[in-house]
Copies of this chain bind each other. A is one copy, B any other.
Amino acid sequence: MELWQRIEEGDIRAAARLMRYADDGDPQAVEQMKRIYPLTGKARVIGVTGNPGAGKSTVVDKLISEYRKGERKVGVVAIDPTSPFSGGAILGDRIRMNRHYNDDKVFIRSLATRGHLGGLSKSTGEISLIMEAWGCDPVFVETVGVGQAEVDVVKLAQTSVVVMVPGMGDEIQAIKAGIMEIADIFVVNKADREGADRTIRDINAMLEMVHWQEGGWRPRVVKTVAFRDEGIDELVKVIEEHGHWLQQSGYQEVKNRRRVEAQFSDLLQDRVRERIEALLAGTEFQSWAEDLVQREKDPYTLLERVSKALLKDQP
């Protein structure tokens, strides 16, 4: 039986193997990915993002438990921008979500941003497709919200959950624009801490300033204390409401469209990046580089030449 068939039948090792092939750029991957693609596109992809320390992993951990009650398979792609400085929370996350590792209907995969962020998006897209084909619904994509690039990954999601903690009032003021674009649901986690109500008020005040269209989705605010399981049922309810709204409003199609565009763009950029790397490693460029160092050539003139060698003329 081919890999894609085994994945469709729910073989977790086959799914893990295809993820590895896709990551390694193994030529077998493409053929298998083509085959699983028709099996995808129906699962919900839920982005969960927020600052380090906000408790994203705990929230996701509890959401897994909640969704597992319904016998559905659940997938998690956890992205960690392994900083050479902060070290990265991968290990911690893994340990925390560990209790689901024995659940053979939960598929958790951590991705470190070792290389370029472009590559990260490609991997996230492919892993989420494989999880879907394997039967996961929903698939959670968990990212640390440290930069625009990570937020781009959220384009894959139909519902975006932003996890915050009390005491970010001033920050909220500073960040309105960015956060508005991506949040469908705000979670104020660790809501037993002082300042939770103030944070909720601040978020609501911020939402007040926007004119929400009739029939549009006004972002919702949910209070949780995730480690004690408080508010998680409410969060699931709101996530489901957002899902219904997407269906009824027709906005689901917009999200689906955005997802395929983002995924295709990631694949294409990855392909081009490979080509550029090969070109820069070639002997011809290596002699040009010396001329650049010596200022005997300039990179802009060279760019014109290399673009011509690399890219076809605009149609």
User: Is A260 in contact with B147, judged by CB distance below 8 angstroms?
Assistant: no
Contacts of A311 in B (CB 8 A): 271-272, 275, 310-312
Provided the pairs A40-B295, A264-B299, A293-B257 are in contact, do residues A175 and B312 lie with their beta carbons within 8 angstroms? no
A199 within 8 A of B: no
Nearest-CB residue, chain B, relative to A171? B87
Q: Give how many copies assemble into the complex.
A: 2
User: Is A300 in contact with B33, judged by CB distance below 8 angstroms?
Assistant: yes
Q: Which of B182, B303, B312 contacts A267 (CB 8 A)?
A: B303
User: Is B261 in contact with A289, judged by CB distance below 8 angstroms?
Assistant: yes
Contacts of A271 in B (CB 8 A): 303, 307, 311
Q: Which of A166-216 contact B (CB under 8 A)?
A: 171, 174-175, 177-179, 181-182
User: Is A298 in contact with B260, judged by CB distance below 8 angstroms?
Assistant: no
Provided the pairs A146-B147, A280-B261, A306-B268 are in contact, do residues A174 and B298 lie with their beta carbons within 8 angstroms? no
Closest CB-CB distance, A210 to chain B, in whole Å? 15
Provided the pairs A81-B146, A147-B113 are in contact, do residues A37 and B268 lie with their beta carbons within 8 angstroms? no
A20 within 8 A of B: no
Q: Which of A237-265 contact B (CB under 8 A)?
A: 253, 256-257, 260-261, 263-265
User: Is A147 in contact with B41, judged by CB distance below 8 angstroms?
Assistant: no
Q: Interface range on chain A: under 10, 10 to 19, 20 to 34, or 35 or more?
A: 35 or more
Provided the pairs A275-B311, A303-B271 are in contact, do residues A253 and B293 lie with their beta carbons within 8 angstroms? yes
A115 within 8 A of B: yes
Contacts of A293 in B (CB 8 A): 41, 253, 256-257, 260
Closest CB-CB distance, A168 to chain B, in whole Å? 8
Contacts of A58 in B (CB 8 A): none
Q: Which of B33, B145, B273, B300 contacts A84 (CB 8 A)?
A: B145
Provided the pairs A295-B41, A303-B271, A307-B268 are in contact, do residues A147 and B289 lie with their beta carbons within 8 angstroms? no
A5 within 8 A of B: no
**How many Å lie between the Cα of A177 and that of B151 in the bound state?**
26
Nearest-CB residue, chain B, relative to A146? B146
Closest CB-CB distance, A247 to chain B, in whole Å? 15
**How many Å lie between the Cα of A312 and that of B84 in the bound state?**
37
Nearest-CB residue, chain B, relative to A129? B299
Q: Which of B51, B84, B174, B261 contacts A178 (CB 8 A)?
A: B84
Closest CB-CB distance, A315 to chain B, in whole Å? 7
User: Is A51 in contact with B260, judged by CB distance below 8 angstroms?
Assistant: no
Given contacts A82-B148, A147-B147, 14 further A-B contacts (CB under 8 A): A37-B298, A40-B295, A81-B147, A84-B148, A85-B162, A85-B179, A113-B147, A116-B152, A264-B303, A265-B280, A272-B272, A278-B314, A309-B312, A309-B315
What are 29 residue pairs bridging A and B, where the CB atoms are less than 8 Å apart in the complex?
Answer: A37-B300, A38-B295, A40-B295, A81-B148, A82-B147, A82-B178, A83-B147, A83-B175, A83-B178, A84-B177, A85-B162, A86-B145, A113-B149, A146-B146, A146-B147, A260-B289, A264-B280, A264-B292, A264-B299, A265-B276, A268-B306, A269-B272, A271-B307, A272-B276, A272-B311, A309-B315, A310-B311, A310-B312, A312-B312
